[in-house]
Amino acid sequence: MPHDPLHWQRLFRFDPSYDRCGSATPLSSDRSILSELTDFNKEISLLLRRHSVQSVLGLMFLALAASCGGNSGDDVPLIFAAASLSDVLTESANIYERETGRRVELSFGGSLTLANQIAKLGAPADGVFFVGEEPKTILDELVSPVPNGSIGLVNTLLVIASKDAEHVGTLGDLAASDSRVVIADPLLAPAGQFAKQALEYAGVWEEIESDLIFAVDVRAALAAVESGNSDYGIVYRTDAFGSDSISIMSEIYEGYSPIVYVGRSLKLAENSAFAVEFYEFLSKSVEVRDVFESAGFTIGFAGSSGT
């Protein structure tokens, strides 16, 4: 059950937009993000500043553990997941509860941020649903291999713009526009790494770097364009498809690593087996598959246990 949704926001001013676990998503990393929030019911300023404040990491971990009750022996797994999965996984969890009577708790954020919370701070996750190879590398032996037949979700990148922005057809045009461009922070979220790879591949990273705004994750990047705090952004296709407040400029087809999300359990976590049960349900449920595909994901399945 969720705890007081404003308690940790009052202490740390968390982003209230995603999490089902305590209604507050921890925004911590080796470079903690401090966003200037004016009014949670008004436009959110996402011009983010990055600082190294190691003490904040421990405080935010304590907030996470407290808001989730430490996930102590109640057979409800706590799953850390990429921010870009917040809508589809929340809906899938509701289907899971309706069909099986079992619940999961979900905590969303940048995959790199959450992986570091688990590996460095011992955050109490039972499973993860991350994107990219680096979170897997960070977690290393803490996570189990992906079983055969497990569902995988595939995404791509889009260039988006605010409604009144001029059209840009290529990444070269984007760099030449000298406009504000928001991407997820490459040190915090794989979406930022993929965007940086694409810009480097197009040969415009150095040209555009000074115009970039770094957001805590891809959902924050989307919100910056929706609110008008940034003229353009590079986000996942699925995030753009879910918004009525932006214009899609172009799809980026090459120059970055495959964007694939997979679920893994934490080997030594108390409710690891229940996280696996949830992943198995996702793989078998036709209704869940429809949720993913309607959001714009391409669905695949793991073919070997070492994935």
pLDDT tens figures, 90-143: 999 999 999 999 999 999 999 999 999 999 999 999 999 999 999 999 999 999
Same domain for 144 and 49, yes or no, is yes
pLDDT surpassing 70 at residue 86: yes
CA angle, 134 then 137 then 143, to 5°: 120
pLDDT surpassing 90 at residue 51: no
Q: How much is the pLDDT for 303?
A: 57
pLDDT (tens digit per residue) in 54-66: 334 444 544 544 4
Beta pairing partners, 129 = 81, 263
Domain residue limits at 188: 155-252
Same domain for 267 and 227, yes or no, is no
Distance separating alpha carbons of residues 68 and 71, to the nearest angstrom: 6
pLDDT (tens digit per residue) in 206-230: 999 999 999 999 999 999 999 999 9
Q: What average pLDDT does the segment 158-163 reach?
A: 96
143 found inside a domain: yes
Same domain for 110 and 34, yes or no, is yes
Q: How much is the pLDDT for 60?
A: 52
Write the burial class of residue 94 (CB in 10 Å: 0-12 exposed, 13-18 middle, 19+ buried). Answer: middle
Proportion of the chain above pLDDT 90, given as a percent: 70
27 found inside a domain: yes
**CATH of residue 143:** 3.40.190.10
Beta strands in 253-306 (DSSP E): 259-265, 298-301
Q: What average pLDDT does the segment 65-88 reach?
A: 77
Same domain for 87 and 222, yes or no, is no
248 phi/psi in degrees, rounded to 5: -90, 120
